[in-house]
């Protein structure tokens, strides 16, 4: 009776060794996957930080340009009468938008979203803190709305025709130097807020 008992113990011991080996293999594999996922997460966040920083710098440059145009526009149109502004824009000799000192078009800030889109496509964004996802998404949505609004102004400037009045062109430029600038300042605050949120301890190690 001792021999069967001894065999059972032997088989049990072998089974436990194999089971432990499988468990250890799975455990090590999970650790490696977690380490790889954490590395990808940190890399993705780093890309987003750089992208937002570049977007921020471009928005700051755009604000500076639009404020310059506003200042120069005010001095240029100060001599226009109410009758003047309702004249046809094409062919008039009283106001041309390219006479504005420093004029270089509507000139939107160059906004990138490659890092954010990459995080979504790869699925790594699911590893972010949920509040961070909401914060980053909100900022990129605002950036998209900014570009849409800016492109609308660009289209208005590009659609000047024989029926366009001076007041129409002035209105578009004034939208660029007021509403668009306001949008840019709000976007700037949004980007800075998101940068601070990314750097908080509960989101990652960028402190």
What is the C-alpha to C-alpha distance for residues 101 and 1, in angstroms, rounded to an integer?
A: 106
Average pLDDT, the chain: 86
More confident residue, 29 or 195: 195
What is the C-alpha to C-alpha distance for residues 201 and 127, in angstroms, rounded to an integer?
A: 15
Phi, psi of 35, rounded to the nearest 5 degrees: -65, -40
Residue 152, pLDDT above cutoff 60 = yes
Residue 153, pLDDT above cutoff 70 = yes
Question: What are 7-59's pLDDT values in tens digits?
Answer: 676 666 666 677 666 666 675 555 556 666 677 888 899 999 999 999 999 99
Give me the mean pLDDT over the 132-157 stretch: 94
What is the C-alpha to C-alpha distance for residues 189 and 126, in angstroms, rounded to an integer?
A: 25
Percent of the chain whose pLDDT exceeds 70: 81
Percent of the chain whose pLDDT exceeds 90: 59
So what's the pLDDT on residue 207?
43
More confident residue, 11 or 164: 164
What is the C-alpha to C-alpha distance for residues 184 and 142, in angstroms, rounded to an integer?
A: 10
CA 86 centroid distance within chain = 40
Question: What are 87-124's pLDDT values in tens digits?
Answer: 999 999 889 998 999 999 999 999 999 999 999 888 88
CA 186 centroid distance within chain = 13
| Cross-strand partners of 88 | 165
What is the C-alpha to C-alpha distance for residues 138 and 143, in angstroms, rounded to an integer?
A: 9
CA 74 centroid distance within chain = 32
Domain parsing of the chain, residue ranges: 38-198
Please state, in angstroms and as integers, the Cα–Cα distance from residue 81 to each residue in 72, 95, 140, 166, 182, following that order. Answer: 18, 11, 42, 11, 28
Q: How many residues does the chain have?
A: 207
């Amino acid at each position: 009776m001792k021999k069967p008992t001894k065999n059972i113990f032997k088989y049990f011991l072998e089974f436990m060794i194999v089971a432990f080996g499988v468990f250890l293999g799975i455990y090590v594999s999970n650790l490696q996957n977690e380490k790889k996922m954490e590395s990808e997460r940190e890399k993705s966040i780093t890309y987003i930080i750089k992208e937002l920083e570049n977007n921020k710098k471009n928005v700051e440059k755009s604000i500076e340009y639009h404020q310059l145009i506003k200042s120069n526009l005010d001095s240029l149109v100060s001599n226009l009468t109410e009758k003047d502004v309702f004249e046809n824009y094409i062919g008039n000799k009283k106001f041309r938008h390219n006479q504005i000192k420093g004029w270089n078009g509507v000139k939107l800030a160059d906004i990138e979203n490659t890092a954010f889109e990459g995080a979504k496509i790869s699925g790594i964004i699911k590893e972010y803190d949920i509040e961070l996802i909401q914060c980053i998404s909100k900022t990129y949505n605002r950036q998209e709305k900014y570009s849409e609004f800016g492109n609308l102004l660009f289209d208005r400037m590009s659609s000047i025709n024989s029926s366009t009045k001076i007041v129409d062109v002035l209105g578009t430029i004034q939208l660029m130097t007021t509403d668009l600038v306001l949008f840019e300042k709000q976007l700037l605050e949004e980007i800075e807020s998101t940068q601070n949120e990314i750097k908080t301890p509960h989101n990652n190690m960028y402190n």
